Amino acid sequence: MILGVNVPLSGGRPVLGVGPGWAPRAVLRLSAEPLTGERRAGEGTLDQVLGDLDRLRAMGAGSVVLDPLLDHPDETLRPERAWQDLATVAAHRVAAHRKELA
């Protein structure tokens, strides 16, 4: 289950293969320890977040907007952690993409 992402539904079920125009927005909250139980897409360890991105891609997302400030606008006053989390995810996705192209 992908929680916290606006997934198009038809008859209460996710519509797969939505197309490259679908770019869901998800919170980004990296943690050192895996989150268990229900968690939103984009929350958890780097491996959990990368897995979320893979699942969204498999559902037809052409892009995913990761928003580390989605729930806490006051964090815009201290954006360092947000930028670091975004840079961490981006570095791993770029490395994975390069491996796919090789």
DSSP string, 82-102: HHHHHHHHHHHHHHHHHHHH-
DSSP string, 7-52: --EETTEE-S---TT---EEE-EE-SS---SS-BTTEESHHHHHHH
Q: What angle do CA 56, 91, 64 make, to 5 degrees?
A: 25
**Residue ranges of the domains in the chain?**
24-101
pTM: 0.77
- The larger pLDDT score, comparing residue 81 to residue 12, is at 81
Asked if the model's pLDDT at residue 101 lies above 60, the reply is yes
Q: What is the pLDDT of residue 102?
A: 75
pLDDT tens readout for residues 3-57: 556 555 555 555 555 555 678 888 999 999 999 988 889 999 999 999 999 988 8
